[in-house]
Amino acid sequence: MGKRQKAEMLGLVQRIIQAYNDEKLTFEAIEQMLRDEGYDISREAIRRTVKSNKQIASELEKTRTETVALIDAIRDNPNTDTNEAAVDWLITKSFEYIKTIENVNFKDLPEMSTFMNSITRMKGQLVKQRMDYNKVFEKVKQMVIADLQKALEDWPELYQQLFTIVTNLEAPDVG
């Protein structure tokens, strides 16, 4: 078994990586921050931690970027799209995890299968809900057009203007 690094023994690895990647702090600034908090760790130990944990740093950055994109999607589409964005993110993360599996443990397989089944079923339900909602919206538009046509038989120009307005209506986001 290899020698554990000081940052690992102090439980500071992720904190150092996050300070280096997310906060863009220098090794010196990280050292000072940790020393101010009472940790006895050198700049060289911090540098070794960052160097030996490039993969963790890369994954943290990727996750941060994906999380920001998810939050932006949710902020821009606060209704059903929120759920769909979260489900899409889960599906993506699950497939990324599955690709890393080298040996399948049959004890864990049913749990993973149940999880994947649940999130893909949820995705299907969200898509179906959106499609059903759009069908109802289109049906209501056709009913309104039919009612306008009957009510405005004597005013064809007004009917044509309202027909154009109604046919151009789009279904609002599902709440």
Chain mean pLDDT for the chain: 79
d(CA 153, CA 46): 81
pTM over 0.75: no
pLDDT at residue 152 above 90? Answer: no
- How large a percentage of the chain has pLDDT more than 90? 11
Instruction: State the pLDDT confidence band at 1, using cuts at 50, 70 and 90.
Output: very low
Please report, to the nearest 10 degrees, the dihedral formed by the alpha carbons of residues 79, 80, 85, 88 taken in order. 170
The two three-digit tokens of residue 98, written as one number:
């599955």
Sequence ranges of the domains in the chain:
1-76, 79-174
Contact 13, 56 (CB under 8 A): yes
pLDDT digits (tens, 9 = 90+) for 30-55: 999 999 999 999 999 988 888 877 76
